[in-house]
Structure 1
Amino acid sequence: MRLPRITRAATAALTLATAAACGANGGEPAGAAGGTALSGRLPDAIKEAGVIRFAGDSHPPYRIVGNDGKTVTGIDKELQEALGKVLGVRTEISIVNGLPAALSGMLASRYDAFNGPVKDTAEREKQFDAIVWMVSRTSYLIPKAGSAAVKSSGDLCGKRVAGTAGSVVEDQAKRLSEWCAQQGKPALAFIGLADTNGTILAAKSGRADAAGMTESAAIDAMAKEKDAFTYVTQTDEQGAGVDQLAMLVPKSSGLGPVMLEAFKEIFKNGEYRRIADKYGLQNVTVDEPKLNTAAAQ
C-alpha cells in the first residue's frame, strides 16, 4: 500500500518547526514532534531518540571530514538531512575507520545506517536491508607527476591501483583486470587501503600508479589540488555501471521499508535531483529507489 505524499500544509508546518529548532546540528530537523506521514512508522527506538545515527568513513565528496574529525559536510550530509526532514527526525554522522567498522557497528546497534556508497549484494542482504539509490561508475585518479603513462582506463592493465578495501571499487578493478586478460594484457595489482584519502596519498607518493574511486570523488580531488591529477573512467565494456549502490540498515531494526519510502519522497520532491546536480552525480543516478535488488536477481 502506497503512503500518501506529505501535504503542503504539513510540509510547511514541519519547515517552521525545524527552523525554530536549528542549533548545534546545523539546521537539522528537531525530531518527530509534529510528525510527518512517515514518522509514525519509524522503529520505536528511533522515535524515542528522535535521531537516526549514521556511520560514515572519510570519503569526499560524500563525507568531507573537518579538521576536528567530527564535522561532516558533503553529499551524505545533505542527503541524510533531506531524509530526516521527510521522516521528522534529526540525523547525525559518526566517523568510523572503513566499511568493516560501519557494518559491525550497525550490527552492534551503535549506528542505524550506513550510506557507503556500498554495493548491494545477496550476502549483505542476509543481515541488512539495502536501499539502492545510485549505480557505480569507477574512475581512476592519475598523478600528473607520476611516471605511469595512463591516457585511458585500458592503460591501467599491469599498473598498481589503490582503492578502498572491500569497496565496490575493488570489485570494479577485478572486472577491469578480467577485461585486461581478454585483451592479452596483465591484470591490475590492487592495493586495498582504509579510505579514499589513503588511496590518494598512495598515488601521490608513488606507492600506486592510480587511485580508484567514484567519479564524483575523482572530480572533487582534482578541484582540491588543481593541476595535480587527471582521471580516467572505467567503461561499460570493462564492467562499469552494473553495480547497484545502496544505503544499508540492519534488517532486524525494521527501518529499511520506512527508509525506502523516505527515499521515494525525496525523489518526488526534487531533493534527490538537486543534490545529484549539485555534486555532478548525473551519470550515476537511478529513476527510482529500490529495496534489496540483489536478492531479487
Structure 2
Amino acid sequence: MASSIAKRIIATGAVVAASSLVLTACGSSKISGNSGAAPNASQSVNAAGPDAALVAMVPADLKTKGTLTVATDSTYAPDEFKDASGNVVGMDIDMGNAILAKLGLKADWQSAGFDSILGGITAKKYDLSLSSFTDTQEREKQVDLVHYFTAGEAVAVLTGNPDKIGTTAADLCGFKVAVQSATTEADEIKNTINPACKAAGKKSIPNNGDQFEAQTDATTALTSKRDQAMMADSPVIDYAIKQSNGALQKLGDNYNVAPYGIVVPKGSGLGPAIQGAIKDLIKDGTYGQILSKWGVASGALTADQITLNGATS
C-alpha cells in the first residue's frame, strides 16, 4: 500500500498502459479478505530461533521489553487479515513472528487502520509495523523501512467484465472504482489517473474512487455491484479473485512493481537487526516457506535486495 514507486507515464492527456509485473499483491458479502484460507494455510514452516549476533544488535530498551507492539491493517489478505476465529494471520504475521524470533523477541499484534499506522510509529504507540507498506521517499522522511517483499498494483472487475472496461488506467475514466483509503491506489487515482482523464476530456473516476477504511469493504463494494472495478496491490487482488468463487477476474496486467518495507522508527537500531534477520530466514529456507504458504512466492527478494530504505521515488 502507499504511494507508487513508479508512476504511469502520462502522454497526450492519457495514461499509457503500464508495464507488466516482472516478478509475478467477494461474490457475496461473505467473500472478503477476512474469510477463507490461504492456498496452503496448513503448511508448516521452520521454527526460527534466536541468533546471538542479531540479538546483540537489538536496542537495549526493546530487548528489555521482550514483546514488541506490532501494528497491522488486518483487512488485507493474504498479507494480513483475521481468520474465522478472529486471529490475525497472513504472510506478514508469519514473517514478523519469524523475524522477531531471530532477535529473541515476541510480537503483540495490534490491528490498526492503515492510515493511522505511521503516526502511531512516530508517536511510539507501536514499535514496528508489517502491513504491506510500499517504500517511498516521502515515507522515509518519517520512518525507516526494511525491504522484504515486492508487489505490483492490479485492477479487478466482475467476471466477464460486464462494463467492458479496457485494460489501462485511462480506461477507468468515468467508472466507479473501489479502493482502500490512504493506499497507493487511492493516491494514484487522485494524483495521476483523474488528472489524465480530465486532460483527455474524459469523465473522472467519481469521488477520486470510492474509498474504504478496510480493504474487505472495498472488495465487497465490487462483488455487490456497488462499484464497477477495484484497485489494490497485486497479491491482494489475486487473493480476492481466488476467494471469490469465480465472481471476480483481473483486468490487464500487474504494474508499478515496488518493494514492501517493514516500518521502524527513524534511526532505530532495530532496522539493521531486522535486515539481518530476514537474510538469515532466506538462508535457512524459512522465508521461502512462508511465501509459499500464502501463495505469494513470486514476490520473493534475494538476500542482497533486503535493504534499508532505498526508495527511488
Is 2:96 aligned against 1:77? no
Higher helix share: 1
Q: Which amino acid aligns with 1:59?
A: Y
Contact 2:46 2:286 in 1 (8 A): no
Contact 2:145 2:263 in 1 (8 A): yes
Is 2:266 aligned against 1:279? no
Is 2:217 aligned against 1:221? no
Q: Which amino acid aligns with 1:86?
A: K
Match of 1:166 among 179, 182, 188: 182
- The range that moved more, 282-291 or 172-181, is 172-181
In structure 2, runs of 5+ residues without a counterpart are 1-44
Measured in 2, the distance between the counterparts of 1:233 and 1:135 equals 19
Q: In structure 2, do the counterparts of structure 1 residues 156 and 124 end up closer, same or farther at CA, with 3 Å as the change threshold? A: same
Identity of aligned residues (%): 25
Alignment map for 1:1-40 (pairs within 5 Å): 36-40=52-56
What secondary structure, in the 3-state scheme, does the structure 2 residue paired with 1:130 have? strand
Contact 1:31 1:90 in 2 (8 A): no
What residue number does 2:61 align with? 45
Q: In structure 2, do the counterparts of structure 1 residues 289 and 185 end up closer, same or farther at CA, with 3 Å as the change threshold? A: farther
Match of 1:248 among 240, 263, 272: 263
- The structural deviation recorded for 1:179 is 6.9
Count how many residue pairs are aligned between Structure 1 and Structure 2.
263
Measured in 1, the distance between the counterparts of 2:195 and 2:291 equals 31
Measured in 2, the distance between the counterparts of 1:184 and 1:86 equals 55
- The structural deviation recorded for 1:235 is 4.8
Measured in 1, the distance between the counterparts of 2:196 and 2:253 equals 11
- The structural deviation recorded for 1:275 is 2.4
- The structural deviation recorded for 1:257 is 1.8
Deviation string, structure 1 residues 88-143 (Cα, Å, up to 9, x no partner): 211231111x2222122222322111122112222221221111223331122212
Match of 1:207 among 199, 223, 226: 226
Is 2:249 aligned against 1:230? yes
Measured in 1, the distance between the counterparts of 2:185 and 2:289 equals 25
TM-score, structure 2 as length reference:
0.72
Structure number with higher relative contact order (C-alpha < 8 Å, ≥ 6 residues apart):
2
Is 2:39 aligned against 1:59? no
Measured in 1, the distance between the counterparts of 2:281 and 2:198 equals 42
Aligned-residue Cα RMSD (Å) equals 3.1
Q: In structure 2, do the counterparts of structure 1 residues 183 and 132 end up closer, same or farther at CA, with 3 Å as the change threshold? A: farther
Q: In structure 2, do the counterparts of structure 1 residues 172 and 282 end up closer, same or farther at CA, with 3 Å as the change threshold? A: farther
Contact 2:118 2:143 in 1 (8 A): no
Is 2:143 aligned against 1:124? no
